[in-house]
Amino acid sequence: MKTWTMSAFATVASVCLPLSAQNVRKYEPPGPAPAVAQGNEWSRTLTEAVVRGKLHDAYQYVRGDTGKWSDEHTLLPATLDSTQTGIRFDDQLDRKLGGPARPLSSGQDAWLLLRTRQYDDNDRVWVAQIERRGNQLSVVMEEAIWQGKYFKTFTYYETYGINLGKLAPGEYTVEWTFRPRRFQKFAGDGKALPENWPLDDAAAEKKPVVLGAKFTVAASGATP
């Protein structure tokens, strides 16, 4: 009987552990700039090959019970220190926000770092388009808010990074737009799991939220 019980437990564990492991959004540390981010005219959009949740270059999901809270979106153009690769992405952003504002160096990749506002766990957001037109940069993010009934409510926010590559010295402007959407059904197996995206999302009757930023890129080696 004892042997059967242990065997049954091992079987249940082998089934449950992979399922529970799926219920975690993957941390994506900062990566190199995509090849398309070359020159001063380019666009990155969702395609059949580039699906939702894959247009950014770095990502971190931050649970609401970690002690952090963000009621508003935070946008910061920055460069990332290669010596901090072992530090979680959201913590790197904290260090940048706590430091003095300086021009970016043309010798390093320029990044757009975004920390979203707090969401309920069934809400979904994703980057839908990134464009560069000369010294003007624009990002469109879809913000799909769950319209179903909640049985338990948890919160989270996300930190995104978009690698713009090495930019020439000059003045740059950024416009990051959140387009409001709403949904009631999930794709995949229909469950509200982190890996499942909205199935029936549609535009919501609400004004988009637009964040703006300006930054300077200085010649490599120039004194800030």
pLDDT one-digit tens code per residue, 102-115:
999 999 999 999 99
Q: What mean pLDDT comes out for the span 56-85?
A: 88
- Encode pLDDT of 15-53 as tens digits: 333 333 334 578 999 999 887 666 889 999 998 888 999
- Within-domain flag for 173: yes
pLDDT at 5: 37
- Within-domain flag for 105: yes
- Within-domain flag for 223: no
Q: How many domains does the chain have?
A: 1
- Within-domain flag for 166: yes
pLDDT at 93 over 90: yes
- Encode pLDDT of 152-207 as tens digits: 778 999 999 999 999 999 999 999 999 999 999 999 999 988 889 999 999 999 99
Amino acid identity of residue 157, one-letter, is Y
Residues across the chain: 224
DSSP 22: H
Host domain of residue 188: 25-218
Per DSSP (E only), the strands in the chain are 41-45, 58-63, 74-78, 104-105, 109-115, 119-120, 124-133, 136-146, 155-166, 170-183, 202-203, 209-218
Model pTM score? 0.85
Mean pLDDT, the chain, integer: 85
Please give the angle made by the CA atoms of 39, 44 and 49, to the nearest 5 degrees: 130
- Within-domain flag for 54: yes
- Within-domain flag for 106: yes
Residue from 42, 67, 62 nearest 114 by CA: 62
